[in-house]
Amino acid sequence: MHNILEINQLHKRYKRIHAVDGLTLSVKPGQVFGLLGPNGSGKTTTLGIVLGVIRSNSGQYTWFGKDHSHAARQKLGAILETPSFYPYLNAVNNLKIIARIKGVGNGRIDDTLKQVGLYDRRFDAFKTYSLGMKQRLAIAAALLSDPEVLILDEPTNGLDPQGIAEIRQLIIEIAKSGKTIILASHLLDEVQKVCSHFAVLQNGKKLYEGSVEELKASDEMVVNAENRDQLKRAAESIDGVISVKETDHHILLKVSETLNAEELNRQLMDAGVALNHLTKKQNSLEQRFLEILSQNQSNN
């Protein structure tokens, strides 16, 4: 099966600014892929290039293992900038205009409004909607053609906590329907909660690409005992302990997801080690993100 999107050595310059600098990445079918990075990292420019609205200086990209023709782009639904709707028209009539522009007919309007949770407000004027509802209508517009891929640029930008939670849940539900989703965000929490895979961008360069699940695959146990040397030796012999690191006050054990705190404590007790401290410290995307940025700064 072909990858949904392949990007190879993509470059985009705006005079002295290297907005996209040798970007290479791939998105597989069914993934919720996050482009993570601060403002100015090249996320929106990258999406603009692969959507055909920004011309790159060099590099290639392909959709569905083929090309980036008009036919390929017809399989995409995207929100790249703040969408424009007529404020005095209701959701149905606004979507009828979008459907006419896309040439897809009106048959999916009701189903799409149900999918984004706006069906009960379908006859209310757009100007009466909250920011979260307006964003959901924008997602409905992107879904009208029943695309294989949904592309979202900062989908929760400017929303309050309730609106963020609603859009987040909507993205999760859309992903469960089988669509591939590519989203750009500077919010670590958003990417960790909705994405299956992500790439970290900074100054147009990719610093990291991997799965969110890999972050959960290894946790840290913070342990201590009166005899630290004995604790370290015993821990190193336990299956599931990936690494042992001593700090000023504790021992940090990186462990696999198969080794829980109860089993770790039991095996250490069997080895004659009585712990006086044991806590679990789960990796977060924020922690990994900061590590990636730190490593990049030290390499430059």
d(CA 153, CA 140): 15
pLDDT value for 216 = 63
Superfamily of domain 5-213: P-loop containing nucleotide triphosphate hydrolases (3.40.50.300)
pLDDT value for 185 = 93
pLDDT tens, position by position, 242-296: 889 888 889 989 888 788 889 999 999 999 999 999 988 766 667 777 777 777 6
Specify the 3-state DSSP secondary structure of 245.
strand
* pTM tops 0.85: no
CATH number of 217-286: 3.30.70.980
Closest to 61 in 3D by CA, of 21, 28, 24: 24
CA angle 189, 36, 137 (to 5 degrees): 75
Q: Rounded to whole angstroms, what are the CA distances from 252 to 234, 236, 241?
A: 13, 11, 10
Structural domain spans, the chain: 5-213, 217-286
